[in-house]
Amino acid sequence: MTGHPLLSRRSVLGAAGAATAAVVGATTATGAGDSVPGALRPGGRFDRFVAERAADGRFSGTVRLAHRGRAVLTRSYGLANRDSDRPNQAATRFDLASMTKQFTAVAVAQLVQRDELRLDEPVGAYVDGLDPAVAGTVTVHHLLTHTSGFGRPPLQGPGEEPPPAPSGIEETWDARMELLRSLPAPDFPPGSRHRYSNDGFFLLGAVVAAVAGTTYHDYVAEHVFRPAKLRDTAFPTVRQLRADERWARLYEPRDGGFDDVTASDRFRYIGGPDEGATSTVADLVRFATALTDDDVLLEPAYAHLITSPKVVAPPPSPDRPGPPRDHGFYGYGHSCSILRGRRIHGHSGSGPGRTTNLDVVPELGWVSVVLSNHHDDIDPIVGLARELMTA
């Protein structure tokens, strides 16, 4: 869907054949070298594929491909705000959902690098009030790799609403911590298996706050966002998100129309260590560059530590195979894959009204960012980008 009448499929695909194609709601930036294949350039196979899905109503958001830090292709489709007919743009800020876990992992690794935190230390050494079986057996490593057995299963997919949200930043944090302290012993021996845990990553944020002596949000803003020059990345409150046109609203299909998820009183007041930071495609390319190339956020050894495999990821489900990979793993707050002998790291995110993905191919200098403010299936877009980047 777009903010203007849709182009027909024929006109969208025809117009995408030129590098300067006038695609509804789209912007393009070029400037990479001759090593960029035509399939990834404006008018190429990837560009046409995204345009086709948008014309069919299967994508609303922004994509960016970047090579060695320079934008090769940027496209935006659909509406950031349906009430005002404001289109998604390159500078639109999208809810990242679980992609936020990458920032938490960087924060933890910075404290480990400074020898202020140990990966093998039980979490009870840093956070009080937890069930003794959690405090004494779950380590920072277990939380980072989703092998702790701690926490509730994540809520995923459309139609699943969380409980009414607390109002206020401190109230939101305190309510979640009270819940985490009430959770029982891990469901399985820590380290024995992999099970994704949003609660585990929120607990990591509490570890960061306790060790750093500040709030999680302040630490990440000062030590992750600022040095990486992420000018448009933040944890907005729901009041800011509703009032400021820079942010995309989140939409779920319902009864032939769309519900604004952010208008619900159940929508969380502010994001946290597990989900809910907002960012732009440009900032996420800067984040990838700062992490993999510039030694800005971490020393190379520690950047490799969090982006390299630690546990084997569960196999894809038959009904949702996901983007292509020869092997899949999870690192520290980063998913890791091998495709055609090339390493890919990053993270995905999903929830009511949002679907996101960041892929980094460090050896080839490629970054792919896909941000949607619908619960779209973006796996085909992510998958084609992977195939073309590693070809």
Give the domain CATH number at 263. 3.40.710.10
pLDDT above 70 for 198: yes
> Which of 60-74, 121-135, 145-159, 211-225 is predicted with the least confidence, judged by mean pLDDT?
145-159
Q: For residue 336, is it within any domain? A: no
158 and 299 in one domain? yes
250 and 133 in one domain? yes
108 and 36 in one domain? no
137 and 78 in one domain? no
Q: What's the N-to-C CA distance of the chain in angstroms?
A: 31
In which band, very low, low, confident or very high, does the pLDDT at 316 lie, cut at 50, 70 and 90? confident
Domain boundary among 311, 331, 366: 311
Q: For residue 357, is it within any domain? A: no
Q: For residue 160, is it within any domain? A: yes
273 and 222 in one domain? yes
In which band, very low, low, confident or very high, does the pLDDT at 47 lie, cut at 50, 70 and 90? very high
Write out the H or E segment, with its range, that includes residue 77: strand 70-77
Domain boundary among 260, 290, 311: 311
Domain boundary among 288, 311, 334: 311
Q: For residue 272, is it within any domain? A: yes
In which band, very low, low, confident or very high, does the pLDDT at 291 lie, cut at 50, 70 and 90? very high
190 and 245 in one domain? yes
pLDDT above 50 for 197: yes
Segments forming the whole domain that contains residue 29: 1-90+377-391
For the chain, what is the domain count?
2
Q: For residue 319, is it within any domain? A: no
The CA distance from 82 to 378, in Å, is 21
97 and 220 in one domain? yes
164 and 250 in one domain? yes
To the query of whether residue 98 is one of the catalytic residues in this protein, the response is yes
Predicted TM-score (pTM) of this structure: 0.90
pLDDT above 80 for 4: no
State the Rg of the chain over Cα.
20
7 and 145 in one domain? no
How crowded is the C-beta side of 27, counted as CA atoms within 13 Å? 13
pLDDT above 80 for 277: yes
60, 76, 98, 264: the active-site residue? 98
189 and 49 in one domain? no
Q: For residue 320, is it within any domain? A: no
Percent of the chain at pLDDT > 70 equals: 89
102 and 86 in one domain? no
Percent of the chain at pLDDT > 90 equals: 83
Question: Which of 363, 334, 353, 385 lies closest to 75, judged by CA?
Answer: 385
Question: Which of 330, 233, 249, 262 lies closest to 80, judged by CA?
Answer: 249
Q: For residue 100, is it within any domain? A: yes
12 and 100 in one domain? no
